[in-house]
C-alpha cells in the first residue's frame, strides 16, 4: 500500500455551522474512521489564516478553544488524527516565507477569493493587507509542509489547491529536488449548504443574520425556530428544484445529507416521498433530522469545553506531532535552497 497523508483546516472564527459539518467536518471524521493503516490524518485550526482580517484577541482565543472542543465533539480522535493550532507550529510560517520567494504576484492577484474580498476597496490599496493577498501561499505551506497527498476541501478552495500544486512543482523544478509533494484535491461530495434566510448565499460563519445558520451548538428549541423561519416559497407541494425553489431545495438538501442512513438515493426521491405534505411537515422533518444529529455533538461539546486541562493537553500533543511531521519537510526544503 502507498502512503497517504490527508491534511485539512478550518478557521477558528466561530462555532462551526451545519454547512461546515456537512461540507467538510463530517468527511474528516469519515476519513479517520475508515482509514487504511498507512494513512495519516492531520487537521488544523488555522488561526494564522483567521488574522488576515481584524480579530479581537479575546474573542479569537475563545473561538480557538470552542473550535478545538467541536473537532473533538464531532468524533475526531487525537489518538488517530493529529489535531493542532496552526500558530503552534512555526514551520507553517517559515515555509510560507520560502514559498513567497517563489510565488508569482500575478497568479495571486487572479485568485477569485482575493478579487471578491477586494472588489469594494478598489481605490484604497492602503487598506488592503499583504496577508490577505498571500493567504493562498500560507494555505500551500500548510499542505506542503506535511507532505499531504490528499486535501479534502469545498468547491471554493479548488483554485487554491491548484496554486499549491503549481508552487510545489515550481519549487521542485527550480531547485532540482522532490522535497515538496503536489497534493491531490478531494472535493467534498456534499452540496453547498445555503443560508436559511437568504438561500442564494451560502451558509457562513460571517453572515450578519444569526438565523441564517444552524450552529452545531444550537439547542433543540433554537434549531426548530430557525428551521421554522427558513425562507421557502408559496408554490403548492414539495418538489426538488434548486433553480426555481432554492429555499425548499436547500431544506431537502439538508434533510438528505444530514440523514446519513437515509433510505433515499437522491434528493428528488426524498422530495417525492414528501410531495403531498405541507411546508410545515417538511420543516418538522428537517428539524427532527438535524436535532437527532446535533444532539450528541452538542452534549459532547459542552462537556469538552469545560475540560481546559484536557483541551490543553490535546493541543500540546497535536502540536508536537505536527512539528515532527513538518520538520522532515523543512530539512529537505532548507537543504535544497541552501539555507
Ligand atoms: P466559513 O465560510 O463558514 O467561515 P470556513 O471558510 O472556515 O467556513 O470553511 C471551513 C470548511 O467548511 C471549508 O472546507 C469549506 O469549504 C466548508 N464550508 C463552509 N461553508 C460551507 C457551506 N455553506 N456548505 C458546505 N461547505 C461549507
Ligand atoms: Na470562508
Name the closest-CA residue to atom 21, ligand 1.
19
Q: Is the CB of 24 under 6 A from ligand 1?
A: yes
Cell numbers linked to 78 = 487525537
Cell numbers linked to 118 = 477586494
ipTM associated with this complex: 0.94
Taking the CA of residue 11 as reference, the ligand 1 atom at the shortest distance is: 7
Regarding whether 329 and 298 lie in a shared domain, the answer is: no
273 within domain boundaries: yes
Regarding whether 236 and 175 lie in a shared domain, the answer is: no
Pocket test for ligand 1, best of 154, 189, 242 (most atoms within 8 A of CB): 154
DSSP string for 107-154: HHHT-HHHHHHHGGGTT-TTTS-HHHHTHHHHHHHHHHTTT-SEEEE-
Regarding whether 319 and 262 lie in a shared domain, the answer is: no
User: Which structural domain, as residue segments, surrounds residue 244?
Assistant: 210-303
Told to judge if 202 belongs to the known catalytic residues of this protein, a careful annotator would answer yes
This prediction's pTM: 0.93
Q: Is the CB of 27 under 6 A from ligand 1?
A: no
164 within domain boundaries: yes
Q: Is the CB of 23 under 6 A from ligand 1?
A: yes
**3-class secondary-structure state, position 26:** helix
Domain holding 236: CATH number? 1.10.240.10
178 within domain boundaries: yes
Regarding whether 236 and 127 lie in a shared domain, the answer is: no
Note the pLDDT of residue 266.
Answer: 84
176-205 per-position pLDDT tens digit? 999 999 999 888 776 789 999 999 999 998
Regarding whether 156 and 100 lie in a shared domain, the answer is: yes
User: What is the domain count for the chain?
Assistant: 2
204 within domain boundaries: no
Domain holding 42: CATH number? 3.40.50.620
- Residue 260 CA to residue 240 CA, distance in Å, equals 19
- Residue 60 CA to residue 49 CA, distance in Å, equals 12
Name the closest-CA residue to atom 22, ligand 1.
19
Q: Is the CB of 67 under 6 A from ligand 1?
A: no
Regarding whether 169 and 216 lie in a shared domain, the answer is: no
Regarding whether 322 and 293 lie in a shared domain, the answer is: no
42-67 per-position pLDDT tens digit? 999 999 999 999 999 999 999 999 99
**3-class secondary-structure state, position 5:** strand
199 within domain boundaries: no
Note the pLDDT of residue 122.
Answer: 62
Q: Is the CB of 153 under 6 A from ligand 1?
A: yes
Regarding whether 229 and 115 lie in a shared domain, the answer is: no
198-251 per-position pLDDT tens digit? 999 999 988 899 999 999 999 999 999 999 999 999 999 999 999 999 999 999
Regarding whether 215 and 144 lie in a shared domain, the answer is: no
Average confidence score pLDDT of the chain: 93
Regarding whether 151 and 14 lie in a shared domain, the answer is: yes
Amino acid at each position: 500500500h502507498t502512503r497517504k497523508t490527508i491534511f485539512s483546516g478550518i478557521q477558528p472564527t466561530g462555532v462551526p455551522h451545519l454547512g461546515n459539518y456537512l461540507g467538510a467536518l463530517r468527511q474528516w471524521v469519515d476519513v479517520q474512521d475508515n482509514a487504511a493503516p498507512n494513512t495519516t490524518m492531520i487537521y488544523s485550526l488555522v488561526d494564522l489564516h483567521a488574522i488576515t482580517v481584524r480579530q479581537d484577541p479575546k474573542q479569537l482565543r475563545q473561538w480557538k478553544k470552542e473550535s478545538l472542543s467541536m473537532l473533538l465533539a464531532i468524533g475526531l480522535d487525537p489518538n488517530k488524527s493529529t489535531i493542532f493550532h496552526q500558530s503552534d507550529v512555526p514551520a507553517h510560517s517559515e515555509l510560507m516565507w520560502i514559498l513567497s520567494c517563489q510565488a508569482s504576484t500575478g497568479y495571486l492577484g487572479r485568485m477569485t477569493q482575493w478579487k471578491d474580498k477586494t472588489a469594494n476597496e478598489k481605490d484604497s490599496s492602503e487598506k488592503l493587507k499583504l496577508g490577505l493577498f498571500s493567504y493562498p501561499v500560507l494555505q500551500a505551506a500548510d499542505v506542503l509542509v506535511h507532505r499531504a497527498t490528499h486535501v479534502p476541501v469545498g468547491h471554493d478552495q479548488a483554485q487554491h489547491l491548484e496554486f499549491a500544486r503549481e508552487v510545489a512543482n515550481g519549487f521542485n523544478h527550480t531547485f532540482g529536488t522532490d522535497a515538496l509533494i503536489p497534493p491531490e484535491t478531494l472535493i467534498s461530495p456534499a452540496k453547498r449548504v445555503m443560508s436559511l434566510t437568504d438561500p442564494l448565499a451560502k451558509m457562513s460563519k460571517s453572515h450578519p443574520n444569526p438565523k441564517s445558520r444552524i450552529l452545531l451548538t444550537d439547542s433543540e428549541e433554537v434549531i426548530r425556530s430557525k428551521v421554522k423561519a427558513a425562507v421557502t416559497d408559496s408554490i403548492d407541494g414539495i418538489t426538488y428544484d434548486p433553480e426555481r425553489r432554492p429555499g425548499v431545495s436547500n431544506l431537502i438538501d439538508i434533510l438528505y445529507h444530514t440523514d446519513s442512513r437515509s433510505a433515499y438515493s437522491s434528493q428528488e426521491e426524498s422530495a417525492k416521498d414528501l410531495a403531498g405534505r405541507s411546508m410545515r411537515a417538511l420543516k418538522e422533518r428537517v428539524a427532527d433530522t438535524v436535532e437527532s444529529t446535533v444532539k450528541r455533538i452538542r452534549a459532547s461539546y459542552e462537556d469538552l469545553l469545560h475540560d481546559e486541562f484536557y483541551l490543553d493537553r490535546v493541543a500540546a500533543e497535536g502540536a508536537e506531532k505536527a512539528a515532527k511531521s513538518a520538520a522532515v519537510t523543512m530539512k529537505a526544503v532548507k537543504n535544497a535552497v541552501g539555507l
